[in-house]
A and B are shown apart, each in its own frame.
Chain A
């Protein structure tokens, strides 16, 4: 309000000034979006009811359009499970619609009792969808990202080409038309009942998809979308989850196709080609990718508006193209986003009118911010050097690395490295740049396979095992660059990690078990993020993000933590706290920690044992005191030692 008063006092009379002050007045805060959730839900329910009642007040033409919007919307909704929830862009989703549709259509061709009944065929479409999703999934998941999308397009075209060419089975471009009407008008005497039958089916499917999307399984998919590497390290077998999502999307796509045949009484190859796949993507975009009911909003908008547009101009596809262009470039929220904005606007206006103060969410301040920057003192670190009284030889072996070697092309990155890590130790790996530390880490954690050598984890040979298996065996890893589920809240990140490793993410409904959520909350408290539970990971300060990573590593119940440069990129002030956190938690939980670091203050501050790598081979090993006294290590860091000297 003060800004407006300021403007007014300057006596600005130009139009631009008035707009600007209006814009200020109506500026919508993030808090308004939060409060707008309730009205948004109300609007959504109202719209569902409205759609259900359409036949009562609309003419047959409009009712038919609404009906078509229902199954197109269901197709787009199933596609959105892939696009939005899992982050997989399928260019060929129409193929499942085609399979479901032809299944129902064929029931007429073969007029066998029961099997000839279109309702029975419709009931079979989900099974057809699941099976097709599985088979096709095995093919398309051979590719990642762009190649996955191209494969979906290729397979969809293949399906279309078969539909197009195999006249005897599918009727090709003529397809099967109008044969249906006579057979079963007895079941649906009035066209309107057909609408409600379809509405009912779509409503049930939508409800099922809603439950699945909001289940622990859905959380796992979102984690995979945000950061599939982190998901892998939370114990999720990513390929299996993606395939399952693909199968579910296929199932509902097939149902949509079957419904379309029942509703439109026709199918032919021209209706199920590439343009249908792209139409589904456009509908998802128009409605708003990030909103659950967005696809339906998009479908209704698409069919109604372009029905009007087609009647008025021959250039209807240009109009559609321009709309798509504008929405893709500027209005990423789509229609649903627009409605949400309107709700938030309404909330803001209401608050301004009633004078209610809206609470802004406080930008999270890092716990360390505001402290004077000081440089840690080596002398102090040296004083805290290992007490040497611990008999490490008595402790059990957690990790035993034997003769690990890995070359890339002509370059030997890791050269016959052997070392072991004892239970409860905080073990550091150091070495000058290019020494092979990260490659070594990747070999141990299953991201790459060694050429020779073994990795033995608690007595079990895990050489080359996939990361998620290692996580299930109790190994957790953090990364050099912060690796979180960016769109999830802090609590969401930790909960997902815990849930994944306990296989609680296999549940397709409901929410995470309470004990998991409670433990997640406790973990957040321990790392000092208790008051930042609902803040999205992306919005945290960098140091807090590192703490969150620590919490997720703990959540997977690792008793063996691998930390890759845990203090990289953190300001000096926050480094001290990060170090304290590692030390505190490691001792409290009796964790074994293996970490790579460049910051010598950190290393000498907390390591019990140090392995020095140089040119991919082990140069020296020992307690911090031994390493500091080792002349070879000094030389390596100061650049006076060569590759031959190390290997020799």
Chain B
């Protein structure tokens, strides 16, 4: 363990961790919502993020990444992924809601494979990069170091999305039905609500945010075909630590994991990954429902 770091180094690193945590939250929010309402662990969620990232790369290539275009590109990428999610849910996920766990796992994993192959065919195996839009270029000086502007942008986006999702869940009719579905889907059907359409809606929302997260990832650097598996594993860690189905849990856990990774890189670079998984195993073994989860 090398401890020759200054206070400034720690601050910079922690802020970077908050940035990574922000993106992690954006990915995990959808995953945890889908589990809460549909009771399905969607392993293909990371692949949806990857689609968002690659679509952004293409769109940025065609339309440029100027200040105004940037927002349009983000929105378009998220919409494309949402559309893909719609197709996936209606065609393939509906039949598996009542199937055993193994079937659900394999079907969602099949999509990880399918999407990976398509991406590799279309984009090749090399990594791709995009430029950073002008308003996000450069860094902000913090103490002795500098932090790229896009990290703060990520944090801002995470807060905005968290607030938006919270508002949707607690202030709209749709959010009300989603929360009802989490507790008693049968009673919801008896209340005259079309639960199947509701499930599709939740899935599409989750896909939208996955796509958005993927689009934002392009700012961090390169995008490669390993993004899907990398993303889903980390999202899975966040969702489980936070509590399956809990949005606030995902929020807290995402930043915890982000900071843990960041500090791990500082202290024991080769063990930073192991630390995260060790935390996961500890949480599952001691408190399986996660930080904010409910006992099953």
Contacts and interface: CB of A to CB of B under 8 A. Distances in A.
- Interaction A to B: yes
Interface in B184-205: none
A311 to B, nearest CB: 15
A146 interface: yes
A314 B120 contact: yes
A89 B284 contact: no
B109 A324 contact: yes
Contacts of B236: 150, 153
A143 B274 CA distance: 21
Interface stretch (B62-70, B97-105, B156-164, B216-224): B97-105
A184 interface: no
Contact of B273 (A161, A320, A322): A161
A83 interface: yes
Contact of B113 (A143, A161, A162, A318): A318
Interface stretch (B2-10, B140-148, B275-283): B275-283
A278 B102 contact: no
Contacts of B111: 321, 325
Nearest to B278: A158
B126 interface: no
A248 interface: no
Contacts of A328: 103, 106-107, 110
Given A91-B105, A315-B117, A324 B278 contact: no
Given A151-B281, A281-B105, A322 B121 contact: no
B169 interface: no
B273 A139 contact: no
A291 interface: no
A131 B117 CA distance: 39
Interface in A134-188: 139, 142-143, 145-147, 149-151, 153-155, 157-158, 161-162, 164-167, 172
Contacts of B280: 154, 157-158
A313 B281 CA distance: 39
A315 B120 contact: yes
A325 B107 contact: yes
A285 interface: yes
Given A89-B101, A154-B281, A281-B105, A325 B270 contact: no
Contacts of A162: 271, 274
**From A165, A167, A285, residue with most partner B Cβ within 10 Å:** A165
A497 B181 CA distance: 40
**From B96, B240, B284, residue with most partner A Cβ within 10 Å:** B284
A324 B92 CA distance: 13
B273 A317 contact: no
Contacts of A143: 284-285, 288
Contacts of B101: 89, 145-146, 149
A490 to B, nearest CB: 25
Contacts of B120: 314-315, 317
Nearest to A278: B109
Contacts of A317: 113-114, 116-117, 120
A329 interface: yes
A608 B231 CA distance: 66
Contact of A158 (B41, B103, B229, B281): B281
Given A315-B117, A317-B117, A150 B273 contact: no
B295 to A, nearest CB: 11
A328 B101 CA distance: 12
B26 interface: no
B283 to A, nearest CB: 9
A70 interface: no
B112 interface: yes
Nearest to B270: A165
B174 interface: no
A312 to B, nearest CB: 13
Contacts of B285: 139, 142-143, 151
Given A89-B102, A89-B105, A146-B101, A167 B270 contact: yes
A321 B117 contact: yes
B134 to A, nearest CB: 36
B107 A318 contact: no
B178 to A, nearest CB: 21
B173 interface: no
B117 A142 contact: no
B273 A164 contact: yes
A318 B118 contact: yes
B233 interface: yes
A30 to B, nearest CB: 23
The 9 closest A-B pairs by CB, nearest first: A318-B117, A321-B113, A321-B114, A165-B270, A161-B274, A315-B117, A158-B277, A161-B273, A317-B117
Given A164-B270, A329-B92, 16 more contacts: A153-B236, A157-B233, A158-B278, A158-B280, A161-B277, A166-B270, A172-B270, A281-B106, A314-B117, A314-B120, A315-B117, A318-B115, A318-B118, A322-B110, A328-B107, A329-B95
30 contacts: A89-B102, A89-B105, A143-B288, A147-B288, A149-B105, A150-B240, A151-B284, A154-B281, A158-B274, A165-B270, A165-B272, A274-B229, A281-B109, A282-B109, A289-B102, A315-B118, A317-B114, A317-B116, A321-B110, A321-B112, A321-B115, A322-B114, A325-B92, A325-B107, A328-B106, A328-B107, A328-B110, A329-B92, A329-B96, A329-B103
